[in-house]
């Protein structure tokens, strides 16, 4: 008898709660579905994508760039496009155990190798020009076939294991990714190729940025900045 009364009271309470909070709950559910399947913000922590992305950037993630997925799952119901070289992608990496933000360098079937930071894709040397030099390193403009972006190389002499890689062929449904800060990035050189299913979306703009080196002051020049 007590169980019946308890169940009746619980149903009455839940019904009243739903009536009073229905609009709020529907709005909350819509927001969560939007963030899960359509678009979201991603925080940049670290320097692996300098000079393109800075520590403290908040980037816009377009989750419909490549797929329509069921909310709260990684299940794709419709493929809209394929990731391409030069895209800045957000990755739910199972190997790394965390979310990564990197640039696609190699597509399925591409052969990629590096020799002392000289990048070669499909036996073609990726051309570059030096843009500037500073205490942080050498900033270059890299021409990856039809795509152009900046990258940062360490100015320190000496050999690092990450400066050379491969050659290796990118498997089907996988991608080779690098951080733009080539000597300070854990990417495909460490985690190997990235499965397409782990690519969450593409980022093409910074929404806003907070400078952690200066009391988290907003970086005015980064507001709604477009990414190359």
Report the pLDDT value the prediction gives residue 11, as an integer from 0 to 100. Answer: 75
Q: Residue 192 sits in a domain of what CATH number? A: 2.10.109.10
Question: What is the total count of domains within the chain?
Answer: 2
Is 85 found in the same domain as 15?
A: no
- C-beta of residue 65 within 8 angstroms of C-beta of residue 40: no
H helices present in 156-225, as ranges: 188-191
Same domain, 130 and 64: yes
Q: Are residues 7 and 66 in the same domain?
A: no
Digitized pLDDT (tens) for each residue of the chain, 228 residues in all: 555 565 656 677 777 877 888 888 888 888 898 898 898 999 999 999 999 999 999 999 999 999 999 998 888 999 999 999 999 999 999 999 999 999 999 999 999 999 999 999 999 999 999 999 988 899 999 999 999 999 999 877 554 668 999 999 999 999 999 999 999 999 999 999 999 999 999 999 999 999 988 878 999 889 999 998
Catalytic residue from among 69, 102, 185, 209? 102
Is 48 a residue of the active site?
yes
134 is catalytic: no
Domain limits for position 2: 1-37
């Amino acid at each position: 008898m007590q169980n019946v009364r308890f169940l009746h009271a619980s149903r009455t309470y839940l019904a009243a709660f739903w009536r009073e909070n229905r609009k709020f709950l529907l709005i909350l559910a819509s927001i969560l579905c939007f963030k899960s399947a359509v678009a979201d913000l991603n925080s940049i922590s670290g320097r692996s994508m300098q000079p393109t992305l800075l520590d403290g950037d908040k980037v816009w993630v377009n989750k419909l760039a490549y797929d329509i997925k069921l909310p709260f799952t990684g299940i794709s119901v419709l493929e809209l496009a394929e990731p391409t070289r030069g895209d800045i992608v957000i990755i739910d990496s199972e190997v790394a155990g965390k979310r990564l933000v990197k640039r696609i360098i190699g597509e399925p079937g591409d052969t990629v190798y590096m020799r002392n930071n000289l990048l070669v894709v499909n036996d073609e040397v990726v051309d570059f020009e030096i843009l500037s030099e500073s205490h942080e390193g050498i900033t270059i403009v890299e021409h990856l076939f039809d795509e152009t972006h900046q990258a940062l190389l360490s100015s320190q002499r000496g050999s690092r294991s990450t400066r050379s890689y491969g050659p290796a062929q990118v498997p089907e449904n996988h991608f080779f990714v690098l951080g733009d800060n080539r000597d300070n990035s854990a990417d495909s050189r460490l985690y190997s190729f990235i499965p397409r299913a782990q690519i969450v979306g593409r980022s093409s703009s910074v929404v806003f940025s907070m400078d952690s080196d200066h009391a988290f002051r907003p970086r005015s020049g980064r507001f709604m900045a477009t990414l190359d």
